């Protein structure tokens, strides 16, 4: 399904405890903005969502994790930090930005792909793919 940033209130992912949601595109594309919407407006109204770029991940209530793997070099970095156990835990919902280094091991339940809109640099098409 394709959405724009204006349609964020229509996105309902129907999350399950074991879901892994992979987010794709480039720096400053709006991945964290989408996660903010999903968690704030669908799950909780008063949760503070910020990008975990420099700390690599954040844990929110009810076993929800938000990872940013941009600064990791390879899968071994992921394992050495101990995140494999978090992502592999069937009780956790994991939003993962920059998932390319774990794609061969972990498969997403949902992929969210942001694409530039040709005639508007500030807009994005949001493609949601259930796997």
| Residue 106, domain CATH | 3.40.50.300
Within a domain: 131: no
pLDDT digits (tens, 9 = 90+) for 66-102: 898 988 999 999 998 888 999 999 999 999 989 999 9
36 φ, ψ (degrees, to nearest 5): -55, -50
Within a domain: 79: yes
pLDDT score recorded for residue 56: 78
pLDDT score recorded for residue 62: 73
pLDDT digits (tens, 9 = 90+) for 105-120: 999 999 998 877 667 6
pLDDT higher at 124 or 128: 128
Place of tokens 């959405």: 3
How many domains, in total, are found in the chain? 1
pLDDT score recorded for residue 45: 61
* Residue numbers of the domain that contains 86: 2-8+17-126
């Amino acid at each position: 399904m394709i959405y724009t940033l204006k349609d964020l209130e229509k996105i309902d992912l129907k999350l399950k405890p074991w879901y892994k949601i992979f987010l794709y595109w480039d720096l400053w594309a709006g991945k964290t903005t989408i996660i903010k919407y999903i968690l704030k407006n669908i799950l909780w109204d008063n949760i503070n969502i910020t990008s975990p770029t420099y700390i690599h991940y954040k844990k929110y209530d009810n076993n929800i994790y938000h990872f940013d793997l941009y600064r990791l070099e390879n899968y071994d970095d992921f394992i050495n930090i101990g995140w494999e156990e978090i992502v592999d835990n069937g009780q956790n919902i994991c939003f993962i930005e920059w998932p390319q280094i774990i794609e061969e091991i972990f498969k997403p339940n949902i992929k969210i792909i942001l694409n530039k809109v040709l005639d508007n640099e500030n807009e994005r098409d949001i493609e949601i793919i259930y796997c």
